A = this chain, B = another copy of it.
Amino acid sequence: MTSGNARDTRPHVVIVGGGFGGLAAARELADEPVRVTVVDRCNHHVFQPLLYQVATAGLAPSDITVPIRWRLRDQKNTNVVLAEVTGIDPVARSIMLDGEPNTLSYDYLIVAAGARHGYFGHPEWEANAPGLKSMRDAHDIRQRFLLAFEHAEVALTASERDAALTFVVIGGGPTGVELAGAMAEIAHGRLYQEFRHSDPRKARVILLEAGPRLLSAFPEDLASKAQSALERLGVEVQLGTPVTMVEAGAVWLGEKQIRSEAVVWAAGNVASFLGAQLGAPLDRSGRVKVEKDLSVPGHPDVYVVGDLCYVEGEDGRPAPGVAPTANQTGTHAAKMILNTLRNRPHTPFKYFNKGDLATIGRSKAVAAFGKLHLSGTLTWFLWLFVHLLYLVGFRNRLSVLIQWGYAYLTYQRGVRLISNSRPPA
């Protein structure tokens, strides 16, 4: 990139991705005798657990993002590069940037490139059923969601209006549950006061899950509590219902069609294509099957962390694709690099399950901490507290607290901005 570090003899650690995994690794390397370069195609780190609130107009994009540079500003050994990594050559020990003949060499590489939503072999569904991984996705979903109410208001026929006011969320994991809950709460809340020809309270929010229950990673009793809470909010939960096709304006369940213009995909992930460039075995969603120390088989100088890595715990179960896993794997990989430099032995990664939390609209949440299962209003406050605690940056915490307080007291959503507003034709 630049010649500034050409004579720097410290080992060069390159980190691909500024999400939870990449940032945790970079933080661990602060003040260590290495130089670090973090590469991301975005200038900002996104607090993904709250992305669904941006998608449903509860929070502003800037409430849950911080510039990666700002987060790492105090680490003088760390450099941040805004670029897209388009290839990895683990033999030449370099990565390609922006598809150009622009490469960056490394001594150690940590790949924290994450996952995108996957469509089970139907990439053509994405155009009509966007997923929720990046800020751009959240923005896209927010536009569709808000425009649907505008469309219903000017609809010429009742069936057109009904289609505009039908929201479909595909996938009953935490993201799907939280999205569907938030959508129902908004549609069935005070929005009706603003419309004259349509009634947002008549909106249907349909949550489709192919498996036998919601929240498959949670204990069964909590999943059933979450389902009841969603149904009380007016969400129609349909279990054992695989989607067979998504097209413009409709979702198909076998022979049955649901007309909807706002469909969100929360059903599956595929790992970043960068995983396949490491010459290591992949699982069926494209995650790299790493060694116990998180290094790549055959390339002990390359580590994979976060949603892109497949690592089994002592019980033989893979660590889940959640923020704590990303944090823990990122930290572990950085420690292994430091162990190598200090000629210390490597240790196997151990996933520490901090518990699972999901929220279902206003005042409801479920949580599992080992055998302890919680639900109800106090659990919801716990959810609020944990999310504020982990959110990076004091300003963001304060801002989120205020948006939440406002929404709680007034039943209003603050961020109902349609960019480049135009009515759906």
Q: CB within 8 Å of B: which residues of A? A: 1-2, 4, 40-44, 60-63, 65, 67, 69-70, 72-74, 79-84, 98, 135-136, 139, 146, 150, 153-154, 156, 193-197, 394-396, 398-399, 402-403, 406, 410, 412, 414-423, 425
Contact = CB atoms under 8 A, between A and B. Distances in A.
Given A4-B196, A74-B193, A406-B398, A415 B82 contact: no
Given A2-B156, A399-B399, A418 B43 contact: yes
A69 B135 contact: no
A414 B395 CA distance: 7
Contacts of A1: 154, 197
A44 B399 contact: no
B139 A44 contact: no
A170 to B, nearest CB: 25
A81 B396 CA distance: 34
Nearest to A393: B414
Contact of A423 (B74, B82, B415): B82
Contacts of A403: 395, 399
B67 A194 contact: yes
Contact of A69 (B72, B84, B195, B197): B195
A44 B398 CA distance: 25
Contacts of A44: 416-418, 421
* Centre residue among A72, A82, A416 by max chain B CB count within 10 A: A82
Given A81-B423, A82-B154, A98-B423, 15 more contacts: A1-B197, A4-B196, A43-B416, A43-B417, A44-B421, A62-B415, A70-B416, A82-B150, A83-B154, A98-B425, A135-B417, A139-B419, A395-B412, A395-B414, A398-B406
A20 B79 CA distance: 45
B194 A136 contact: no
B136 A419 contact: yes
27 contacts: A1-B154, A2-B156, A43-B150, A43-B418, A44-B421, A60-B61, A61-B417, A62-B414, A62-B416, A67-B194, A67-B417, A69-B195, A70-B416, A74-B193, A79-B196, A82-B422, A82-B423, A135-B417, A136-B420, A395-B410, A395-B412, A396-B414, A398-B406, A399-B399, A399-B402, A399-B414, A402-B402
Copies in the complex: 2
Contacts of A69: 194-195
Nearest to A3: B156
Contacts of A425: 98
A417 B65 contact: yes
B194 A417 contact: no
Given A60-B60, A403-B395, A146 B79 contact: no
A196 B154 CA distance: 53
A135 B420 CA distance: 9
B41 A422 contact: yes
A238 B46 CA distance: 41
Nearest to A146: B43
A12 to B, nearest CB: 13
Contacts of A41: 421-422
Nearest to A65: B417
Contacts of A156: 2
A193 to B, nearest CB: 4
Contacts of A80: 194
Contacts of A402: 395, 398-399, 402
B135 A42 contact: no
Contacts of A421: 40-44, 82
